[in-house]
Chains A and B, each alone.
Chain A
């Protein structure tokens, strides 16, 4: 017996049992202060590493694109001509859009109180589709706040906050469920994360109309999620397995792996 207790297998068994117990108990009150201190020490280095990595990626992309530049330049010139013509039309459409936003009750996009934050680490395919930002409780970030880019496109929402950092679960995270609606038809449903498979527009009534190309925005139902944040465009509509609802794939405009800056929506300016 004494021999068995001194074996490697016994030691590993004991340690694994201890850590399974720790996992089960998940002592957040103890681990969160430790995590806060640990991340505060680590985040300056993470910021440097992330910026360097993003710069390297940018250089790599530039080098690989040199060959395509000439063809692209030609294409851009002709596109520029087309865009000039479109611009005239769009000015008129902008006015119409403003009226429609008012009628739909969408917030004007510049009315969010935003907090800019650097992305300092990410795990897009590991334990849960998240990114980490360098702003935390001391900057007013709280759990559940939406995180966007370019003042409109939704990236995800804050799931954990330490003093100086916060973890953002992405729309693709299976834990992410957000109430959404289509701007064209007003069909309501939820945007549900599908691990590694993107985002699904789910729970849409069969009576509602959704089509490929429809834009999906947050519906404003749910705590802390304002109406009108852009989630993506619908692609491929189909029925759910039980044929009770319609489902569709939502294509998000956000390229998470390239993100360097995001904005946390602290609230509406009016509030």
Chain B
């Protein structure tokens, strides 16, 4: 029960940070995704089975808070945690000592998956935009990866601290 409350609180906090805090301070071209990185940190720390439920909850909350149709962010988060589970098992077995490199790979993959799907959803939503117009330039993608890396390590350390202290 305590874990559920803490995780719900963290998801709310990530939403607040994303929509009402970072969006004012950081240029939209380079802004990362706080909720996405929280879900990624949960997937890395808790594994597929536990992260699955939280990915759905976080995705639904994100959709509600950002006026998006229900399901949009959930699909992104689900694909992300599957990718994390798939690659972490294979790479950690096949390549030893890969640690931090694997995390960086996850961050890049998460940014790529979310941006690609956002672009696709916008196009399917019949908005007159092209895929690459929404996806943006490679330079901004690199900045977003950097921003996401900062957010990811923030959430990873926060989750570890909460787990150590309360769970």
Contact = CB atoms under 8 A, between A and B. Distances in A.
A124 interface: yes
A49 B72 contact: no
Given A8-B82, A31-B70, A195-B134, A39 B64 contact: yes
A220 interface: no
B142 interface: no
B126 to A, nearest CB: 9
B68 to A, nearest CB: 5
Interface residues of A, number: 50
Interface stretch (A17-25, A145-153, A179-187): A17-25
A190 to B, nearest CB: 13
A127 B66 contact: yes
Given A35-B67, A122-B24, A125-B29, A195 B129 contact: yes
B70 to A, nearest CB: 5
Contact of B48 (A8, A47, A126): A8
B39 interface: no
Interface residues of B, number: 45
B58 interface: no
A194 to B, nearest CB: 8
A38 B66 contact: no
A121 B25 contact: no
B82 A12 contact: yes
A208 B124 CA distance: 35
Contacts of B122: 127-128, 174, 195
Interface stretch (A52-60, A80-88, A228-236, A246-254): A52-60
Interface stretch (B9-17, B99-107, B151-159): B9-17
B118 A49 contact: no
B162 interface: no
Contacts of A258: 24
7 contacts: A26-B70, A31-B70, A45-B16, A54-B24, A123-B28, A196-B136, A257-B27
Interface of A: 8-9, 11-12, 15-16, 19-20, 22-23, 26-27, 31, 34-35, 38-39, 42, 45-47, 49-50, 52-54, 56-57, 60, 120-128, 130, 132, 159-160, 167, 174-175, 195-197, 257-258
